[in-house]
Chains A and B, each alone.
Chain A
Amino acid sequence: MKLNAPLALAGAVAMTAASFAQAETLTIATVNNGDMIRMQGLTADFTEKTGHEVEWVTLEENVLRQRVTTDITTKGGSFDIMTIGMYETPIWAKNGWLVPMDNLSAEYNADDILPAMRNGLSYEGTMYAAPFYGESSMVMYRTDLMEKAGMEMPTAPTWEFIRDAAAAMTDRDNEINGICLRGKAGWGEGGAVITAMSNSFGARWFDENWNPQFDSEQWANTLNFYKGMMDASGPSGYATNGFNENLSLFQQGKCGMWIDATVAASFVTNPNDSTVADSVGFALAPDNGLGKRSNWLWAWALAIPAGTQKQEAAQQFIEWATGTDYIELVAANEGWANVPPGARTSLYENPNYKEVPFAQMTLDSILSADPTNPTVDPVPYVGVQFAAIPEFAGIATDVSQEFSAAYAGQQTVEEALAKAQAITNDAMEAAGYK
């Protein structure tokens, strides 16, 4: 069959006109980090493909959380897409605030999403947010200092090894601290590290009846071990150090080891920013032989608030931003080391990505975290470094403040744990869990 050229042209014009007649302007709330900023820079590709424009509202993580929570609880409709994490997703989905992701196209290949990420972003088996990137935590260490200390980092170290290696690598005269860990108050800062660490010591936030467990021996062991190791081999003022402070110390060659988010690997191996880029090794987060490691699981994901009028365009954007084509687009523009990690299985099967030095360890770390079964003893909550209940953020922030005060020497570990137990007990009673 021969196509009539003017007819074909008219058809094409009509199709273009139809698609642009439905063109929307999407407002997207997001966090300020390297991967998200990169996505903003590549949005023209989405506009070119769909005709939809995008307006970004970029905010600091905690400001964003407050902002989107206010909007979604009041059905404000300010945003068509929100960037949320694993903590918010199941809680908001339960409240009916999010559009379920059960209508994704076949090309999107939702089955390619890493199961750990999919489970963490689901409620009652339905996914409510699509992971843009995922992360766990792992050990990043200086290979040269480890060698100088006469030690060899195992792929899966124990906490005992980490403590001994930290002591051996510490060189106060040359301002080298054996280990850097977050101590800063905040449930997503020091709170995340100590909760993930406590899992490997056999501790848990609550028993199966929502009774707080800070009076347990396991929590005392966790805190005493942390404080003992950090006092001996950590940087001064570690009680107020968060991700950025430790990143800065590591990049300047002042940390022998740093246990933190896997996304940090691309920062510490970037020669433009890091003075130790060529001597960084990776290992799984430590354990204590109890069957649980101390790594967390997190994803920044894109979700559609139930109040939006632009659901179709929003889903198109999410499929574009979290799909496999986007990964290829980033790789072509910025290189494979800069693609958003931790979300899709196919990425880790890609031979180009396999050459990235931290790729396999990131995947192994993600796969070893189980948000539905995070602790040695059973718990009634989902989440590795958090418990996915609405009250957790407030309680954990208060508890982490008590822990930070103990790190800073303002109170003893026993006092901090007693206060944590009382704070959590009161809050859980007030919330009707007990």
Chain B
Amino acid sequence: MARSITNNRKALNTAIAWTIGLLIFFPILWTILTSFKTEAQAIADPPIFLFFDWTLENYAVVQERSNYTRFLMNSIIIAGGSTLLGVIIAVPAAWSMAFVPSNRTKDILLWMLSTKMLPAVGVLYPIYLIFIKMGLLDSRIGLTVILMLINLPIIVWMLYTYFREIPGEILEAARMDGASLRDEILYVLTPMAIPGIASTLLLNFILAWNEAFWTLNLTAAKAAPLTAFIASYSSPEGLFYAKLSAASTMAIAPILILGWFSQKQLVRGLTFGAVK
């Protein structure tokens, strides 16, 4: 009897999880399906779900019209570069806050987070002018730096949370064994925090990949990443939904694949320290 109740509850939980999962995934699924429709099918009312003549025409048009590879490479370099740079800066910062806190550590953490509360458009002009002066407009270096700065508070916060879960005694023991600060961070702390660092890397890579305000406003032709690629297919005067969907699918495909293969690490990292 008890086993039957447990099984029923398990089945119910599974059904609920699948339903929620499908609901969350539905917009992406719909975008992917629309990318295989004609423009007329894309706007059909009632909407056509699966039974239509599948076509690759939109992908062919997008390939012909845009240099997808260049946008993709820019996205990889900008998102990857900003994430790596962010982690390199954030690891020592989070270490000091987690293991050598001062009276002001919490204030600093909150202050860092408060920079995320400012609407980006509020600093567009100052940043734009700085970029002009420094010759960074439409450059991958400029975007890498700005995305790193934007995501740095989140990276520091995440790493700080993970580091706090690591017993300070282990680091003390390393110090007693003669480990320098560099050795302590590189050979003791980092290996122990790898799930946390990996999930931080992944999450920030995704955030940088999807960032659309700065990538649209600070680029033109050379450094434009996939967000600009998608934006080039959006139009208020003309029905290009199927082509827009094809462009969106091509833009999210790499990050979806990356997320799929790293989901274990991502979930492990995100739930790290959640249950004691």
Contact = CB atoms under 8 A, between A and B. Distances in A.
A65 B240 CA distance: 20
Contact of A70 (B45, B125, B228, B236): B125
B186 interface: no
A263 interface: yes
A58 interface: yes
Q: Say whether chain B's binding surface is mostly helix, strand, loop, or mixed.
A: loop
Contacts of B44: 252
Interface in B193-226: 216-217, 220-222, 224
B65 A37 contact: yes
Contacts of A412: none
A75 B43 contact: no
A356 interface: no
B240 A32 contact: yes
B39 interface: yes
Contact of A61 (B125, B137, B235): B235
B237 A261 contact: yes
B125 A55 contact: no
B236 A272 contact: no
B173 interface: no
Contacts of B234: 32, 59-60, 63
Contacts of B138: 78
A70 B124 contact: yes
A243 B40 CA distance: 16
B192 interface: no
Chain A contact residues: over half helix, strand or loop, or mixed? mixed
A243 B240 CA distance: 13
Contacts of A58: 231-232
A278 interface: no
Contacts of A263: 237
Contacts of B228: 57, 59
B221 A55 contact: yes
A251 B45 CA distance: 11
B129 interface: yes
Contact of A74 (B129, B220, B235): B129
Interface residues of B, number: 30
Given A57-B220, A61-B235, A244-B237, A74 B132 contact: yes
Contact of A60 (B132, B217, B235): B235
B233 interface: yes
B56 interface: no
B238 interface: yes
Interface string A247-280: 1100110100000010100010000110100000
Contacts of B222: 55
Interface in B220-266: 220-222, 224, 228, 231-240
Contacts of A286: none
A66 interface: yes
Interface in A265-324: 267, 272-273, 275
A252 B43 contact: yes
Nearest to A272: B40
Contact of B237 (A74, A243, A248): A243
B269 to A, nearest CB: 34
B217 A66 contact: yes
A172 interface: no
Interface in A216-249: 242-244, 247-248
Residue from A31, A32, A66, A248 having most chain B Cβ neighbours under 10 A: A32
B68 interface: no
B137 A78 contact: yes
B128 interface: yes
Interface in A53-84: 55-63, 66-67, 70-71, 74-79
A27 B235 contact: no
A346 interface: no
A40 interface: yes
Given A78-B138, A272-B40, A34 B238 contact: yes
A67 B39 CA distance: 28
Contacts of B235: 31-33, 60-61, 244
Contacts of A254: 45
B220 to A, nearest CB: 4
A105 B216 CA distance: 35
Most chain B CB inside 10 Å of its own CB: which residue of A75, A76, A243, A263: A76
Contacts of B224: 57
Contacts of A24: none
A242 B236 contact: yes
A58 B238 CA distance: 14
A29 interface: yes
B167 to A, nearest CB: 50
Nearest to A245: B43
A261 B235 CA distance: 14
A67 B240 CA distance: 22
B43 to A, nearest CB: 4
Contact of B231 (A40, A60, A79): A60
A74 B125 contact: yes
A244 B236 contact: yes
Contacts of B39: 273
A178 to B, nearest CB: 18
Contacts of B221: 27, 55-57
Contacts of A57: 220-221, 224, 228, 232
Interface string A20-62: 0000000101011110010011000000000000011111111
A177 to B, nearest CB: 12
Contacts of B137: 76-78
A171 interface: no
17 contacts: A33-B235, A37-B65, A55-B220, A55-B222, A57-B232, A59-B234, A60-B231, A60-B234, A60-B236, A61-B236, A63-B234, A67-B216, A67-B217, A71-B128, A188-B236, A244-B235, A248-B45
Interface of A: 27, 29, 31-34, 37, 40-41, 55-63, 66-67, 70-71, 74-79, 188-189, 242-244, 247-248, 251-252, 254, 261, 263, 267, 272-273, 275
Given A58-B232, A63-B216, 5 more contacts: A32-B235, A61-B235, A71-B128, A248-B239, A251-B43
Q: Which 7 pairs across A and B sit closest by C-beta, in order of nearness? A: A58-B232, A55-B221, A60-B234, A32-B235, A248-B43, A78-B220, A33-B238
